[in-house]
Structure 1
Amino acid sequence: MKHVLDNPAWHALSSANQHLGAASEHSAYFLPDVSPFVALASATEAHLLDLHQRLPYHDRVAILVTTENPEITAPWKMISKVDGFQMVYEGPEKPLFDGPEPLQLTEAHIPEMLALTQLTNPGPFLPRTIDFGHYEGIFENDKLIAMAGQRLHPEGFAEISAVCTHPEHLGKGYARRLLLRQVNRIQEAGETPFLHAKADNERAIKIYESLGFRIRTEMFFYILMKA
């Protein structure tokens, strides 16, 4: 039997995140202003076709998150494929952290959140990505310089996402503090933290490992558009 995290977007859209998207028996997707992530019950040609027929947009990319290697054929066009790792937290319970107190981010902060993620590229971030919840930020001179939040929420797990720091403020421990705060929050909810990292982002992977995350599996991100 496959692990729930082998298909995290599918299980998220079938449980805690279902209010942020739509699902059928074979495919699912998030609302287009929340996330470009899409999912399949299994990576088959039939389920890819079901997704193509149901997806309500055609002028933007859809990102399929999977541990499988499906063959992408018409009516889909594959733009690219990004290799990554899924990492699960196995560190100490409620790890300690210090540093400046973050602020809860709200809709009023969305323009700054979009600007910071466009600058640092931690992964797809859209105007309503904040609806996944629990976004916190660190400010200096009233300017957002670091943030982190949550994204996929399959039953029993919660993904830490959009961990980023302005290039002028790297090396100050802001990302570490924000990430460990999320670990604490997730553990207090009785769930297990996890995250994703690009396979070639060795610096980030080493940092995550130093904080108690361990690579669980390879994860592939297929960037697709309707042909």
Structure 2
Amino acid sequence: MKDIENKLKNPVWYSLKETHKKFTIEYDGVHFYQPDICIFGAFFDESKTAKALNEYAKIAEKFFLVSENKTPIIDANYVLLEKKIDGCQMVLENLVDLEITENIVLLTEDYIDEIYDLIWLVMPGFYRKRGFEMGKYFGIFKDNKLVSITGQRMQTDDLIEVSGVVTHPNYTKRGYAKQLVAFTTKEILKENKLPILHTNKGNTAIPLYEKLGYKLTRDMNWWLFSRK
């Protein structure tokens, strides 16, 4: 249990050390995803972040460092801090069973473009098309089109993050997201891993996640940088 707790404190780092090791780029102990997969990085020693960010900025225009409570150091000559996103981590405490009434399907590579377009419509800016390779994606189709999805993002040997929870604006308030999160959570449990998720503090979706059995556990902050 202690091992999982340590990984929860730095999920990007441990994802890149374990399940997503093949996607890792390292600069002197600071780990990043390949930028066409995901633009997240993680660290333990903030004294090493300035040089590492300078190097990563050569291949990525915008990128994040993710940290529970540490403040990364930057070289302001090359990298600009755009904003700090105050986030939080939620961990499944007790699964609340929910009847799945929609037809939820595992999305294949045939739907990579549709997944990308839907996420960018609802949450533009950061999702990469090859993010599909980070984990499984599930979807609901209506009127012969993909209207709601959820996916899996960060992963270690012990846990999997639920992410990419988006619904087309014309199909909201029908319970699709709730059913998708519940379905994805069950799929993670089938792999004997701990379901987790991350969101912004104050997000109106937090009560929905709590109703499904998730509990707020800690801050998890996203520092957004850009190449200067």
Q: TM-score, normalised by structure 1?
A: 0.90
Cα offset for 1:164? 0.9
2:200: which partner in 1? 198
Which structure 2 residues correspond to residues 1-227 of structure 1 after superposition, within 5 A?
3-23=6-26, 26-40=29-43, 42-53=44-55, 55=56, 57-74=58-75, 75-92=78-95, 95-121=97-123, 124-201=126-203, 203-227=204-228
RMSD: 2.0
Instruction: Write the deviation string for residues 39-79 of structure 1: whole angstroms up to 9, x where unpaired.
Output: 11x141224423433x2734511111111231533143211
Supply the AA of the counterpart residue of 2:214. Answer: F
Name the SS of the counterpart of 2:197 in structure 1: strand
Residue 22 of structure 1 and its aligned partner are, at CA, apart by 2.4
Q: CA-to-partner distance for each residue in 1:3-62, whole Å, 9 max, x for gaps?
A: 21111100000000111232355111111111111111x141224423433x27345111
| Aligned length, in residue pairs | 223
Identity of aligned residues (%): 28
Change (3 A) 1:32 1:132: same
1:98 Cα deviation from its structure 2 partner: 1.3
- Give the match's secondary structure for 1:99: coil
In structure 1, stretches of 5+ residues that fail to align are: none
Residue ranges of structure 2 left out of the alignment (5+ in a row): none
1:113 positional shift: 1.1
When residues 172 and 136 of structure 1 are mapped into structure 2, their CA distance, relative to the original with a 3 A threshold, is same
1:72–1:78 contact (8 Å) kept in structure 2: no
Contact 2:88 2:219 in 1 (8 A): yes
Q: 1:24–1:71: structure 2 CA closer, same or farther, 3 Å change rule?
A: closer
The whole-number CA distance in structure 2 between the counterparts of 1:124 and 1:159 is: 17
The whole-number CA distance in structure 2 between the counterparts of 1:193 and 1:21 is 22
Q: Structure 1, residues 161-220: CA drift from partner, whole Å, max 9, x if none? A: 00111111112111111111111111111110000011131x111111111110110111
